[in-house]
């Protein structure tokens, strides 16, 4: 203990330097991909296999892509509460394909187990979270992915990062039977930082798919991204106890009411954003949007979230 106190400043210093390094490296994955220094991993989505000679199955009525929050460690597995949310959503939406295996926080890989920088560390973190989703090391993932959201927001890096995210979404959609050019609407559900990545990717999704893109933001921390211009409509779900919602409103100048000409405030003025209060819901945890803890009316929180998302999707179809 004494040793710890003696070296506290040193440890804080090391932690700060580690944070700085992590932040400095954050843009390099997407920039390296654009520059041709890195290539994307081969597509291994769990969907109908794409065989050019096979008869293509009929397209679903609608396609929904779920991008998780900054706690997401891999596109190959999800936290139990999100698995429950997606299962309920699928049950509520017949003839709908729900894609939930996109990793929004990496351009050239689908999970931290493939991260190039400090691969051993991230492999360990991924395994720890797989064994126990509430493991403390999850904070490392939060911090890493927070920097990726910052890259998505940054006007210098965002165009490349968001293009990479759009590419990931298109790959996943195609693996699940979506035909590019069919014009089928795509509903992006973005939770927390996933909402920002969804909005950023919307710029390219709308153009590359030539289809309407609608965003359902669940506790989304989103900036006044240029994607606002390309998204057809935003359903903005926010809980009364969601502190992150307030942070998003303050941290991004483009969302301040005084910035009348920002893309966000323009679409708000055009009534392209539907604000939906979710009652006493927190950003995450036992009182979060995907929790099974009951609301004052006795229904599980996740049930209310699924109900609102379902209505938003059916209303926009």
CB of 208 to another protein, least distance (A): 5
Nearest-approach distance from CB 151 to another protein, in angstroms: 5
Which of 59, 84, 92, 154 touches another protein by CB under 8 A? 154
State yes or no: residue 208 binds another protein (CB under 8 A): yes
Which two three-digit tokens encode residue 303? 């049930």
Q: Of 317, 258, 303, 263, whose CA–CA distance to 92 is shortest? A: 303
241: β partners: 282
Q: Which residues lie closer than 8 Å to 86 by C-beta, 6 or more apart? A: 66, 78, 98, 100
Q: Which is nearer to another protein, 145 or 305 (CB)?
A: 145
For residue 99, the surrounding DSSP H or E stretch is strand 96-99
**Does position 231 bind another protein by CB under 8 A?**
no
- Is 151 near another protein (CB under 8 A)? yes
Instruction: Return the residue of 8, 14, 18, 180 that touches another protein, per CB under 8 A.
Output: 180
Residue 92: CB minimum distance to another protein, A: 32
Instruction: Tell whether residue 259 is a contact of another protein (CB under 8 A).
Output: no
CB 35 to another protein: min, Å: 5
Q: What is the smallest separation between the CB atom of 84 and another protein, expressed in angstroms?
A: 33
- Using the 8-state DSSP alphabet, how is residue 214 labeled? E
Instruction: Give every CB contact of residue 121 below 8 A, 6+ residues apart in sequence.
Output: 140
Does residue number 36 form part of the binding site for another protein (CB under 8 A)?
yes
Structure tokens at 199: 């909005």
- With CA atoms as reference, report the closest residue to 115 among 162, 69, 74, 70: 74
Closer to another protein by CB, 150 or 268: give it.
Answer: 150
Among 63, 103, 191, 204, binds another protein (CB under 8 A): 204
Report how far apart the first and last C-alpha atoms of the chain are (Å, whole number). 60
Q: Is 221 in the site for another protein (CB under 8 A)?
A: no
Q: Does 34 bind another protein (CB under 8 A)?
A: yes
- Alpha-carbon distance of 40 to 33, in angstroms, equals 7
* DSSP class of 294: B
Footprint on this chain of another protein (rule: CB under 8 A) = 20, 23-24, 26-27, 31-32, 34-37, 147, 150-151, 153-157, 159-160, 163, 167, 180, 204, 207-208
């Amino acid at each position: 203990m004494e040793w710890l106190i003696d070296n506290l400043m040193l440890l804080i210093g090391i932690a700060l330097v580690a944070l700085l390094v992590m932040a400095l490296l954050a843009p390099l994955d997407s920039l390296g991909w654009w520059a041709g220094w890195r290539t994307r991993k081969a597509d291994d989505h769990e969907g109908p296999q794409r065989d050019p000679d096979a008869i293509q199955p009929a397209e679903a009525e609608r396609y929904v892509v779920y991008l998780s929050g900054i706690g997401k460690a891999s596109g190959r597995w999800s936290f139990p509460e999100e698995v429950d949310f997606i299962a309920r959503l699928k049950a509520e939406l017949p003839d709908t394909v729900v894609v939930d295996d996109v990793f929004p926080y990496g351009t050239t890989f689908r999970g931290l187990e493939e991260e190039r920088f400090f691969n051993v560390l991230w492999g360990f973190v991924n395994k720890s979270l797989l064994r126990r989703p509430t493991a403390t090391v999850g904070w490392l993932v939060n911090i890493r992915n927070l920097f990726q959201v910052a890259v998505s927001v940054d006007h210098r890096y965002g165009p490349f990062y968001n293009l990479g995210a759009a590419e990931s979404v298109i790959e996943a959609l195609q693996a699940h039977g979506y035909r590019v050019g069919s014009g089928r609407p795509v509903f992006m559900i973005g939770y927390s930082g996933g909402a920002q990545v969804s909005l950023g990717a919307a710029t390219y999704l709308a153009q590359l798919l030539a289809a309407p893109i609608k965003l359902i933001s669940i506790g989304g921390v989103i900036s006044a991204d240029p994607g606002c211009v390309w998204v057809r409509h935003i359903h903005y779900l926010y809980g009364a106890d969601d502190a992150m919602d307030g942070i998003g409103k303050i941290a991004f100048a483009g969302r301040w009411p005084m910035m009348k000409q920002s893309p966000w405030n323009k679409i708000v003025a055009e009534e392209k954003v539907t604000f939906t209060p979710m009652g006493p819901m927190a950003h995450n945890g036992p009182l979060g949007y995907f929790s099974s803890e009951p609301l004052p009316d006795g229904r599980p929180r996740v049930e209310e979230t699924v109900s609102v998302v379902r209505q938003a999707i059916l209303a926009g179809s």
